[in-house]
Amino acid sequence: MVSKKEGILFIISGPSGVGKGTVIKEVLKLVPDINLSISYTTRPPRKNETNGKEYFFVSEEEFNRMIERGEFLEWARVHGNLYGTPKRYIEERLKNNEDVILEIDTQGARQVKKAFPNGVFIFILPPSIDELLKRLHKRGTEKEEEIQIRLNNAKEEFKEWEWYNYTVINESIQLTGEIIASIIKAERCRTSRLGWKGL
Ligand code: 5GP
């Protein structure tokens, strides 16, 4: 019979406020047998965030030490803070034939594309800029100044959508979650990812 040769890396990007976090929670409900990588960041935790759950929160010194030790698959400065993907965690999961989701910005995604050209790159777009701004305000986790930085960065990030494998417009969390779950399920059936294991 046939089976998948190795784990698949799914990379999800999209502007701040587009709903990536909520969409991913929906995807995990529909596809429980997948790992969500937890990034390291120098951003201070928000009120509802716990170390080791949304992120590993570290100091800039610790982050720089990790860069020097080559512990990141990719890292980038986003909205003024550093964010990085742990390399060993990803490599171990993939080698073990487990799939992994990364939720990272477009700079990080470009770096991952070089190391993992067979990764599946998914871009989430908002229905409109107005809608994005509304969601950023509604979320209420950033100050006005911070919202403006995120909005300006969003305009830069939009330019990147075309090189991603899939683009999903987030009209509704449930629908977007279902579409991404379908992409994951379809990619798992891609013939080029399968190997013959004998009868
Ligand atoms: P937030 O501060 O809102 O949690 O995330 C800000 C941005 O950083 C988002 O666009 C998110 O995708 C990105 N991000 C989160 N983790 C990583 C990471 O490990 N690497 C990179 N390059 N970006 C990340």
The 10s digit of each residue's pLDDT in 130-143 is 999 999 888 888 88
**pLDDT tens digits for range 58-81:** 999 999 999 999 999 999 999 899
User: Is the residue at 154 inside a domain?
Assistant: yes
User: Is the residue at 72 inside a domain?
Assistant: no
The model's pTM: 0.95
User: Is the residue at 174 inside a domain?
Assistant: yes
**pLDDT tens digits for range 144-181:** 998 999 889 998 899 999 999 999 999 999 999 999 99
User: Is the residue at 75 inside a domain?
Assistant: no
| Residue 78 CA to ligand 1 centre (angstroms) | 7
User: Is the residue at 76 inside a domain?
Assistant: no
Rounded distance between C-alpha atoms, residue 26 and residue 18, angstroms: 14
Query: Domain of 174: which CATH number?
Result: 3.40.50.300
Q: Is 81 left (phi over 0), alpha (psi -120 to 50) or beta?
A: beta
The pLDDT score that the predictor gives to residue 186 is 98
Give the range of the structural domain holding residue 161, as residue numbers without chain letter: 2-37+97-196
Residue 55 binned pLDDT confidence (cut-offs 50, 70, 90): very high
User: Is the residue at 70 inside a domain?
Assistant: no
| Residue 191 CA to ligand 1 centre (angstroms) | 32
The pLDDT score that the predictor gives to residue 142 is 83
Counting from 1 in the atom list of ligand 1, the atom nearest the Cα of 21 is: 4
User: Is the residue at 47 inside a domain?
Assistant: no
pLDDT at 26 over 90: yes
Provide the number of structural domains found in the chain: 1
User: Is the residue at 64 inside a domain?
Assistant: no
The proportion of the chain whose per-residue pLDDT surpasses 90, expressed as a percent, equals 84
Binding site membership of 76 for ligand 1 (Cβ less than 6 Å): yes
